[in-house]
C-alpha cells in the first residue's frame, strides 16, 4: 500500500514543478543593437487641415527577440516645443518610460497632431525616439498644417492648375512626358527640403506683373526669405556620389517650355535644363522673371536652348548662370547682379563651357549662339577677373557675343575684341542700382545703364520687368529695369 501511494504522488509533483516553471517571469534581454521592428519609419499626416487641426495615426512596435525587451524611454524629440501627442500602449506621453514588450509580441503607439492650420509654418516635423540602455531609434512624424494641395511623388498630366490654393511639393512632382501643365497667374508652389519639380513634358508658366507665379521654400518665416539651399532634390549614385537636381529640372524629353512672370527663390539650384533643344521655339523661353537666393546657381544649362528677356538673377553662391557643353542661348535685357552676402565666391557670375573630358580626351559641343544684348553682368567676384568666365576648346562651332552690355573688366577677357565684345560699358565702381543691400536692382538717377541700350534689341522686350515702356524716353536702358524719371 505504501509503494502505491508514493507512485501516485509523482505526477502531482511534476505538475506542480512545471506550473512553477511556467509562471517564472520571462527573462529580460538587452539586444546588442536596436532590433525592434516598426510597422513604418515615417508617420505622415497628409490630410489637408481646413479649420480643424487634430487627427490621429498609429503604428506598431514588434519585438522579434526570445526575451522581453524593456524600452527605457519613448518620447517626442521636440519636448516641450512640439505639436504632437503620443499614447504608448495606453499610457499618455509626451514621454513614457520603462515600456516592456514581451518576446514575439508588439505594442501600439498612437500619434496625434494638433496643428493650427492658419499658422505661418506649412510643414511640422518631429520624431518619436525609442531608447534602450545601449541603442536608440526613431520614427519620423510629418504633418502639413495649412490649406494646400499636396503633391507628394505626384505625376502631373495635361491640365491647367488652379490658383485657389497653394501647392506644397514633398519629395517631387513630375510633369509627364508628352503632357503639358499650364500654371496660371498667382499660383504659389512651396517646396519642402529635398524636393523638386521635374519636367519630362512641357511646363507653361503664365504669371502677370501683378500676380507672378511663385516657386519657393515652404519655410515662411521672415528669417528664411532670402536664405539659399532650402529645396531641390538629389540622387545618391551607386558610387556614393550625389547628383543634384535643379529646383525646377527640365529633362532631355522636355520641349517648348515657357516661364512668364515668375519668382524662383531659395533652392540649391534654381533651374537646371539638360539637353533640351529648340524646335519651333526654344527649349525654354523665360521672360519677366526673377531668380534669386540660390546655393549653387540660378540657371544651369547643358547643351540646351534658352531665350530670355527681362530676366533678373541675383545672390547665387556660385554661378548665377552656367552654360555648359555648348548650346544656343540669347539673354536680352538681363540683369545679373551676384552680390550674395552669404558666401565668398570663387566663380564668376556667368560661366560658358563647350566640352567635357573623359579618359583624358576632350569632347567638344557646338556653341551655336551665346548672345548677351542690352544686359548687365556685375558682382563681387574679383578685382582682377571679370564676372564672365570662359572654358572653351576648339570645336565645330563657337559663336558668342556681348553687345551693348555692362561688364566688370578683367584680365581674362579682352573687351576690345570686336568679334565678341561690342559697345561695352566698363563699370569698375558699380552699375548704379538703387539698393543692393535690399535686393533692389532698379536703376538710380546716375546709373551707367541709363539710355545706353540698342533699340534694335529693345523691340523684343518693349516693356521692362515692371511693365514700363522702354520707348517713352530717349533710349532704352540696359538691363531688365527701365528708369523713368
Nearest to 269 by CA among 303, 301, 223: 301
Q: Are 121 and 145 in contact (CB under 8 A)?
A: yes
Strands in 77-148 per DSSP E: 84-88, 91-92, 95-101, 106-114, 123-131, 136-144
- Confidence at residue 150, expressed as pLDDT on a 0 to 100 scale: 87
pTM, rounded to two decimals:
0.81
- Confidence at residue 17, expressed as pLDDT on a 0 to 100 scale: 42
- Confidence at residue 316, expressed as pLDDT on a 0 to 100 scale: 95
Residues paired with 376 in a beta bridge = 335, 406
Q: 85: which 3 cell numbers?
A: 501627442
Residues of the chain with CATH 2.60.40.10: 28-144
- Confidence at residue 428, expressed as pLDDT on a 0 to 100 scale: 74
Q: Using CA atoms, how far apart are residues 317 and 228, in angstroms rounded to an integer?
A: 8
- Confidence at residue 118, expressed as pLDDT on a 0 to 100 scale: 64
Q: Using CA atoms, how far apart are residues 141 and 165, in angstroms rounded to an integer?
A: 24
Domain 28-144 indexed as CATH 3.20.20.70: no
Residues paired with 214 in a beta bridge = 188, 263
Q: Using CA atoms, how far apart are residues 76 and 83, in angstroms rounded to an integer?
A: 10
Assign domain 149-458 to its CATH architecture.
3 Solenoid (2.160)
Asked if the peptide bond before residue 354 counts as cis, ω within 30 degrees of 0, the response is no
- Confidence at residue 429, expressed as pLDDT on a 0 to 100 scale: 77
Which of left, alpha, beta for 420 (phi over 0: left; psi -120 to 50: alpha)?
Answer: alpha
Residues of the chain with CATH 2.160.20: 149-458
For the chain (length 485 residues), average pLDDT per consecutive 10?
41 44 59 84 71 74 91 93 91 93 94 75 88 90 81 96 93 97 97 96 98 93 91 92 95 97 98 90 97 96 98 96 97 94 83 94 95 94 75 92 90 85 88 93 94 97 97 93 91
- Confidence at residue 369, expressed as pLDDT on a 0 to 100 scale: 96
Q: What is the enclosing helix (H) or strand (E) of 5?
A: helix 2-22
CA distances from 321 to 58, 331, 438 (A): 47, 11, 21
Amino acid at each position: 500500500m505504501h509503494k502505491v501511494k508514493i507512485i501516485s504522488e509523482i505526477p502531482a509533483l511534476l505538475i506542480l514543478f512545471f506550473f512553477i516553471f511556467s509562471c517564472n517571469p520571462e527573462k529580460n534581454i538587452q539586444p546588442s543593437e536596436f532590433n525592434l521592428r516598426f510597422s513604418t519609419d515615417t508617420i505622415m499626416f497628409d490630410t489637408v487641415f481646413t479649420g480643424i487641426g487634430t487627427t490621429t495615426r498609429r503604428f506598431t512596435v514588434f519585438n522579434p527577440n526570445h526575451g522581453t525587451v524593456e524600452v527605457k524611454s519613448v518620447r517626442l524629440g521636440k519636448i516641450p516645443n512640439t505639436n504632437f501627442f503620443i499614447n504608448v500602449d495606453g499610457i499618455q506621453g509626451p514621454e513614457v518610460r520603462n515600456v516592456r514588450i514581451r518576446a514575439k509580441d508588439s505594442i501600439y503607439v498612437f500619434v496625434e497632431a494638433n496643428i493650427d492650420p492658419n499658422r505661418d509654418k506649412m510643414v511640422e516635423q518631429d520624431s518619436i525616439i525609442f531608447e534602450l540602455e545601449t541603442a536608440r531609434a526613431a520614427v519620423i512624424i510629418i504633418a502639413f498644417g495649412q490649406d494646400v494641395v499636396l503633391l507628394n511623388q505626384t505625376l502631373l498630366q495635361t491640365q491647367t492648375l488652379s490658383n485657389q490654393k497653394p501647392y506644397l511639393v514633398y519629395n517631387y512632382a513630375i510633369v509627364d512626358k508628352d503632357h503639358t501643365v499650364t500654371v496660371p497667374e498667382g499660383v504659389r508652389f512651396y517646396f519642402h527640403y529635398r524636393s523638386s519639380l521635374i519636367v519630362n513634358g512641357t511646363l507653361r508658366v503664365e504669371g502677370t506683373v501683378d500676380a507672378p507665379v511663385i516657386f519657393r521654400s515652404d519655410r515662411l518665416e521672415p528669417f528664411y526669405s532670402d536664405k539659399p539651399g532650402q529645396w531641390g532634390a538629389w540622387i545618391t549614385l551607386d558610387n556614393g556620389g550625389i547628383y543634384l537636381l535643379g529646383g525646377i529640372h527640365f529633362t532631355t524629353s522636355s520641349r517648348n517650355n515657357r516661364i512668364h512672370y515668375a519668382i524662383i527663390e531659395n533652392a540649391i539650384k534654381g533651374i537646371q535644363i539638360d539637353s533640351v533643344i529648340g524646335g519651333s521655339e526654344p527649349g525654354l523661353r523665360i521672360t519677366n522673371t526673377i531668380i534669386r537666393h540660390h546655393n549653387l546657381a540660378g540657371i544651369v544649362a547643358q547643351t540646351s536652348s534658352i531665350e530670355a528677356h527681362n530676366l533678373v538673377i541675383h545672390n547665387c553662391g556660385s554661378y548665377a548662370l552656367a552654360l555648359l557643353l555648348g548650346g544656343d542661348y540669347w539673354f536680352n535685357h538681363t540683369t545679373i547682379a551676384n552680390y550674395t552676402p552669404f558666401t565668398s565666391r570663387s566663380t564668376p557670375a556667368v560661366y560658358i563651357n563647350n566640352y567635357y573630358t573623359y579618359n583624358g580626351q576632350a569632347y567638344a559641343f557646338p556653341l551655336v549662339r551665346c548672345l548677351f544684348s542690352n544686359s548687365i553682368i556685375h558682382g563681387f567676384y574679383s578685382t582682377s577677373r571679370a564676372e564672365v568666365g570662359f572654358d572653351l576648346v576648339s570645336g565645330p562651332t563657337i559663336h558668342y557675343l556681348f553687345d551693348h552690355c555692362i561688364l566688370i573688366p578683367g584680365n581674362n577677357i579682352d573687351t576690345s575684341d570686336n568679334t565678341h565684345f561690342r559697345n561695352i560699358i566698363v563699370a569698375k565702381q558699380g552699375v548704379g542700382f538703387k539698393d543692393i543691400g535690399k535686393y533692389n536692382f532698379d536703376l538710380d538717377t546716375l546709373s551707367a545703364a541709363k539710355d545706353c541700350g540698342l533699340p534694335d534689341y529693345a523691340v523684343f522686350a518693349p516693356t521692362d520687368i515692371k511693365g514700363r515702356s522702354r520707348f517713352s524716353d530717349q533710349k532704352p536702358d540696359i538691363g531688365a529695369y527701365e528708369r523713368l524719371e
